[in-house]
Amino acid sequence: MEGIQGPDEPVYTIGVAARLLGVSPHMLRLLERKGLVEPLRTRKRARLYSQNDLKILGRICRLMKVNGVNVAGVKAILHMEAVMAKEEGKVKSSE
């Protein structure tokens, strides 16, 4: 089935991504500047987001909107989750 995009394929423009997430394009640019997401850039410097990028951004936006976590807190939470997932992977592989 050629032509079907996988979850890591960057296909969503910033406008579409913002609409799907319920935020402004400005917010997505801010999150990029803060180092929370790194969308693919086309030759003309347009940002493209993948389905996985949208999942991460959705998590970030929920942490900020619902839980009131600031950018530094979001970075810390995402880092801790990544470390825990890595450790869980080590434990499962050694069992």
Q: How far is Cα 77 from Cα 54, in angstroms, rounded to an integer? A: 17
Residues 6+ apart with CB under 8 A from 60: 31, 36, 37, 74, 78
pLDDT band, residue 1 (cuts 50/70/90):
very low
Average pLDDT, the chain: 91
Report the amino acid identity of residue 91.
Answer: V
What does each C-alpha distance from 6 to 10, 12, 16, 56, 93 come to in angstroms? 9, 12, 17, 16, 26
Residues 24-67: tens digit of each pLDDT: 999 999 999 999 999 999 999 999 999 999 999 999 999 999 99
